[in-house]
Amino acid sequence: MSKKINAPDKSGRTPWNRFVYNTNTVGYVFAAPFIIGFLIFTIIPMLSSLYYSCTDYNLIEKENWIGLSNYIYLFQDPRFLNSIKVTLQYVFLSVPTKLAFALFIAFLLTRPSRLVSFYRSLYYLPSLIGGSVAVALVWKELFARKGLINTNLAALGVSTINWFGSMTAAKWPIIIMTAWQFGSSMLIFAAGLKEIPGSYYEAAKIDGANGRKIFWKITLPCLSPVILFNLIMQLISSFMVFTQAFVITAGGPNDATMYYALYVYKQGIQSRNMGYASAMSWVMLLIMGVITAIVFKTSKHWVFNEAEG
Amino acid sequence: MKAKRIISTTIYHIFILGLGLLMIYPVLWMISGSLKNNPEILSGSLNLIPPAWRWDNFSRGWAGFGRVTFTSYFKNSFIVTIIATLGTVLSSSCVAYALARVKFRGNRILFTIMIATMLLPGQVVMIPQYLIYNRIGWVGTMLPLIVPHFFGAAFFIYLMMQFMAGIPKELDEAAIIDGCSKYTVFTRVVFPLLKPALISTIIIQFYWKWDDYMGPMLYLGKPESYTVSIAVKLFADATSTTDYGAMFAMSTLSMIPVFLIFLFFNRYLVDGISTSGLKG
């Protein structure tokens, strides 16, 4: 249905005007920032890093072509394999917890009450400030060996946990912190809940469905596209966990929280192994791509499509 | 029946409020810590009321590190955040308009590319971008933290496109009949109506940028150009004992701008997020 005729304008139809008001011109003028930015800040860096991933570039000396050595070495590097393992563990523990919380609270807040918008702000607050270094530092003190949490666990007679000294415990403060910031997912769920037609609920009530049944048979299916969106966004952002781990544990103890982005930073920026870090970026891109593709593929089975339903 | 409803409503409010307070307890603890000294903070007391109001934490914290004070850290953060946020709002709304409203050749391909970049995790391009900035001599300046924001951010383009889907196309057509061009339809019709989505973008981009730690850490070399997030971390890096009071005092101050933006624009946040376009 594209219109071939230009918008009628008062200034006449000189060739220049015809060009300026042509639909394609308008489109490219408005899209220009993205097109240019995509080339400069995504495509060129990605392609050049593909080249560097096959070299021993270290920012100072001229690079040497070393073929696929970086990639071969990656899969023999226990620290890299460990970083993938702990990152996956973190993602699969934190994302479902976070989304379940977000949905639970968003659902609770659908109840009509004058206080709902106040409550929503209250629960959004951690998301608003949670990514900051300030909160990460608070977390570090809360979970410290003699921090607030251990002191009060001891007061309750429960044995204290050496959170940052134990390889099994160290991940929990970071996972809790991630789940704690469920506010933005909650807002998106809330927007989705608002858009479920009230008539669906009324029809279900007339058919005699109870609250739990309505939730599973109406709310969840109607919300499934929003769940998919939140799932994908949270998967991507949690794969890239950096600041919290950098500030709170710095990857320790003994690499227990040496997440992927942290290890790339260590290799690339701190040790200047730019070639090796580039190869790492590409491997991660492939892993992310595969996981996203799997989620999209399986989503056909659980995302309810109104056009088909 | 009525009594039962009152009881359940009361339980509901107590539960929501209680859980909410538990959630923000760490933040309140930090604020109260800004008025305590080290032994009081490290005592592990749950009490939020400081035994003595130690305002000197703020003056000690503000003094900063070396000869650089928090005046310049805050100034740097404001420069980076405000310019980047402005760039994001302007460029993303233009691109969203092109993709949502103009049927130009290549529209669909660009839309696919945009979605793909949204799914591209930022840290994957961390090293590639660092190499490019290093080559053009931007490492050590604020430019890598600001300039890319003037080229549209996929997440916000997508957010605005979702919102535009709710603005009737008839408005564009009516404006064109009234003598608007495709350009002035954007400036006079679509952009003003986008306000809720623009405000959501401002809030989210502002606090992402304000809280950003990785970018400044990678690119800012000189202490004079440090942002607040870098400076706050310096308290914990000190070789001598950490001054927790000063650290929490500056942490508290560092949250105020984000908090004010949120308070000011809060009521628009939910309106600006539309999920209608996510459905099949």
Contacts for B118 with CB less than 8 Å, ≥ 6 apart: B154, B155, B158
CA distances from A267 to A55, A66, A287, B212 (A): 14, 17, 19, 21
Could you say which of B61, B83, B110 is where a domain stops?
B61
pLDDT at B270: 63
Six token digits for residue A26: 């308008």
Instruction: Give the 3-state secondary structure of residue B24.
Output: helix
Q: Both B83 and B17 in a single domain?
A: no
pLDDT at A210: 82
Contacts for A1 with CB less than 8 Å, ≥ 6 apart: B103
Residue with tokens 């603005």: B167
pLDDT at A1: 41
B247 with A264: Cβ contact below 8 A: no
Residue A153 reports pLDDT greater than 80: yes
Nearest CB to A281 within list B91, B124, B176: B124
Residue A90 reports pLDDT greater than 90: yes
DSSP 8-state class, residue B52: S
Mean pLDDT of A25-30: 90
Each residue's pLDDT tens digit, B60-93: 888 878 888 899 999 999 999 999 999 999 999 9
Q: Both B164 and B30 in a single domain?
A: no
Q: CA-to-CA distance for B263 and A128, rounded, in angstroms?
A: 11
Could you say which of B44, B61, B78 is where a domain stops?
B61
CA distance A168 to chain B (A): 23
pLDDT at B243: 83
CA distance A75 to chain B (A): 18
pLDDT at A195: 82
Q: What phi and psi, each to the nearest 5 degrees, are found at residue A114?
A: -70, -20
Q: Both B38 and B117 in a single domain?
A: no
Please report, to the nearest 10 degrees, the dihedral formed by the alpha carbons of residues A299, A303, A305, A308 taken in order.
70
pLDDT at B74: 94
Six token digits for residue A284: 């991660």
Q: CA-to-CA distance for A27 and B210, rounded, in angstroms?
A: 32
CA distance A14 to chain B (A): 15
Contacts of B210 in chain A (CB under 8 A): 132
B170 CA to centre of own chain:
34
Question: What's the structural domain count of chain B?
Answer: 2
Each residue's pLDDT tens digit, B98-131: 999 888 898 999 999 998 888 887 777 888 888 8
Q: Which of B87, B275, B279 is nearest to B163 (CA)?
A: B275
pLDDT at B84: 96
Q: How confident is the model at residue A30 (pLDDT cuts 50, 70, 90)?
A: very high
Residue with tokens 């233009």: B94
pLDDT at A2: 43
Q: CA-to-CA distance for A120 and A185, rounded, in angstroms?
A: 12
Q: CA-to-CA distance for A95 and A102, rounded, in angstroms?
A: 10
Contacts for B1 with CB less than 8 Å, ≥ 6 apart: none
Contacts of A119 in chain B (CB under 8 A): 16-17, 20
Six token digits for residue A7: 């918008």
Contacts of A33 in chain B (CB under 8 A): 91, 94-95, 150-152
Count Cβ atoms below 10 Å from residue A165 Cβ, excluding itself: 12
Q: CA-to-CA distance for A85 and A89, rounded, in angstroms?
A: 6
Q: What phi and psi, each to the nearest 5 degrees, are found at residue A112?
A: -65, 120
Nearest CB to A31 within list B13, B27, B110: B110
Instruction: Determine contact, residues B101/B189, Cβ cutoff 8 Å.
Output: no
Instruction: Determine contact, residues B251/A134, Cβ cutoff 8 Å.
Output: yes
Each residue's pLDDT tens digit, A3-24: 444 444 455 578 888 888 888 8
CA distance B71 to chain A (A): 17
CA distance B154 to chain A (A): 8
Q: Both B180 and B220 in a single domain?
A: yes
Q: What is the pTM of this model?
A: 0.85
Amino acid at B243: D
CA B53, B56, B57 angle in degrees (round to 5)?
90
pLDDT at A10: 53
CA A238, A245, A43 angle in degrees (round to 5)?
50
Residue with tokens 């415990």: A169
Nearest CB to A195 within list B94, B229, B276: B276
Mean pLDDT of A68-92: 91
Instruction: Determine contact, residues B91/B186, Cβ cutoff 8 Å.
Output: no
**Residue to test with chain B: of A9, A61, A87, A132, most B Cβ within 10 A:** A132
Instruction: Give the 3-state secondary structure of residue B65.
Output: strand
Contacts of B12 in chain A (CB under 8 A): 108, 111
Mean pLDDT of A259-279: 89
Q: Both B105 and B239 in a single domain?
A: yes
DSSP state letters, B182-243: HHHIIIIIIHHHTHHHHHHHHHHHHHHHHH--HHHHHH--SGGG--HHHHHHHHHH-SS---
Contacts of B114 in chain A (CB under 8 A): 34
Each residue's pLDDT tens digit, B160-202: 998 888 888 888 888 888 888 888 888 888 898 888 889 889 9
Residue A199 reports pLDDT greater than 90: no
Q: Both B139 and B185 in a single domain?
A: yes
pLDDT at A67: 83
Q: Both B17 and B137 in a single domain?
A: no
Residue A44 reports pLDDT greater than 60: yes
pLDDT at A28: 92
pLDDT at A101: 92
Q: How confident is the model at residue B219 (pLDDT cuts 50, 70, 90)?
A: very high
Q: Both B6 and B139 in a single domain?
A: no
The mean of the pLDDT values for chain B is 86
Strand (E) or helix (H) holding B22: helix B2-33
pLDDT at B239: 67
Q: How confident is the model at residue A305 (pLDDT cuts 50, 70, 90)?
A: low
Q: What residues are paired with A65 via a beta bridge?
A: A55
CA distance B147 to chain A (A): 10
Contacts of A176 in chain B (CB under 8 A): none
Each residue's pLDDT tens digit, A270-290: 888 889 999 998 998 888 889
CA distance A162 to chain B (A): 15
Q: Both B52 and B179 in a single domain?
A: no
**Residue to test with chain B: of A34, A285, A308, most B Cβ within 10 A:** A34
Instruction: Give the 3-state secondary structure of residue A160.
Output: coil
pLDDT at B144: 93
| Chain B, nearest residue to A265 by Cα | B127
Q: CA-to-CA distance for A99 and A230, rounded, in angstroms?
A: 8
Instruction: Give the 3-state secondary structure of residue B32.
Output: helix
Of the listed ranges A166-170, B121-125, B244-248, the one predicted with least confidence: B121-125
Q: What phi and psi, each to the nearest 5 degrees, are found at residue A250?
A: 55, 30
Instruction: Determine contact, residues A285/A198, Cβ cutoff 8 Å.
Output: no
A48 or A98: which leads in pLDDT: A98
Instruction: Determine contact, residues A182/A101, Cβ cutoff 8 Å.
Output: yes
pLDDT at B78: 95
- Write out the residue range of the structural domain in which residue B24 sits: 2-61
CA B229, A178, A159 angle in degrees (round to 5)?
105
Q: Both B157 and B183 in a single domain?
A: yes
The mean of the pLDDT values for chain A is 85
Strand locations in A118-194, DSSP E? none
DSSP 8-state class, residue A9: -
Contacts for B213 with CB less than 8 Å, ≥ 6 apart: A132, A133, A243, A246, A247, B229, B230, B233
Six token digits for residue B114: 């945009």
Could you say which of B17, B33, B61 is where a domain stops?
B61
**Residue to test with chain A: of B15, B127, B211, most A Cβ within 10 A:** B127
Share of chain B above pLDDT 90, in %: 30
DSSP state letters, A11-25: T---HHHHHHTSHHH
* Predicted interface score ipTM higher than 0.90: no
Q: How many CB pairs under 8 A join A and B?
A: 291
B103 with A109: Cβ contact below 8 A: no
Q: Both B172 and B246 in a single domain?
A: yes
| Chain A, nearest residue to B104 by Cα | A24
CATH number of the domain enclosing B149: 1.10.3720.10
Mean pLDDT of A106-126: 84
Strand (E) or helix (H) holding B59: helix B56-62
Q: How confident is the model at residue B1 (pLDDT cuts 50, 70, 90)?
A: low
Share of chain A above pLDDT 90, in %: 24
Q: CA-to-CA distance for A130 and A132, rounded, in angstroms?
A: 5
Q: Both B53 and B96 in a single domain?
A: no
Mean pLDDT of A181-209: 86
B110 with A111: Cβ contact below 8 A: no
Q: Which of B118, B86, B81, B113 is nearest to B98 (CA)?
A: B113
